[in-house]
Amino acid sequence: MKKTILITGATAGFGKATAELFAASGWNCIITGRRKDRLTQLAAALTAQHSIEVLPLCFDVQNRKEVFDVIEQLPAQWKTIDVLLNNAGLALGRDSFEAANLDDWETMIDTNLKGLMYVTKAVLPLMIEKNRVISLILVQPLAKKCIRTATDTVPPNTLWTPFPKPCV
């Protein structure tokens, strides 16, 4: 039976690259993000290139209700999730502390911290006792190494946070 990974923030960057790697390794993929057109495009490309299934889910990880509603409404066949990759996020507020824009801080906390917590809290009950969680945030060369490792050897029942997001 094929395994399933849920990747948040799969419309670009690390998340998209991870979806491509896992799909190429024969995993079914739940891909998420806010840009529906990109999700639809990626889902079509992955299913055309590999013998797998892809479920695109369009939602904002900052929106607590949206996150819980979407996960609760997952079709039954998608409720077995083997790996959760908490990748959705961004890097704002890199100014000096005194020049920083408080809105940037709020967005970072709402996305990178609270978004990760909402998704994990919603998805974890579907994974407990059998599976794995990965929180991935790091620079690209290391990300590639970790993703490859994940497709091969991560032991079950592991909360794997190789390079945690700030605050997590």
Question: Contact positions toward ligand NAP, by CB under 6 A?
Answer: 8-15, 33-35, 38, 60-62, 87-91, 111-112, 115, 137-139
With respect to ligand NAP, which residue has the nearer C-beta, 115 or 132? 115
Q: Shortest Cβ distance from residue 109 to ligand NAP (Å)? A: 12
**How many CA atoms within 13 Å lie on the side-chain side of 69?**
9
Whole-number Cα distances in Å, 16 to 1, 20, 38, 137: 23, 6, 10, 14
Q: Shortest Cβ distance from residue 89 to ligand NAP (Å)? A: 2
Q: Which of 13, 47, 15 is nearest to 31 (CA)?
A: 15
Rounded CA separation 30/40 (Å): 12
With respect to ligand NAP, which residue has the nearer C-beta, 79 or 144? 144
29 contacts 5 by C-beta, under 8 angstroms? yes
Q: Shortest Cβ distance from residue 152 to ligand NAP (Å)? A: 21
13 contacts 20 by C-beta, under 8 angstroms? no
Beta bridge partners of 7: 31, 85
Q: Shortest Cβ distance from residue 50 to ligand NAP (Å)? A: 20
Beta bridge partners of 159: 133
With respect to ligand NAP, which residue has the nearer C-beta, 44 or 128? 44
Q: Shortest Cβ distance from residue 119 to ligand NAP (Å)? A: 9
With respect to ligand NAP, which residue has the nearer C-beta, 2 or 163? 163
With respect to ligand NAP, which residue has the nearer C-beta, 33 or 50? 33
* Segment holding 57, helix H or strand E: strand 54-58
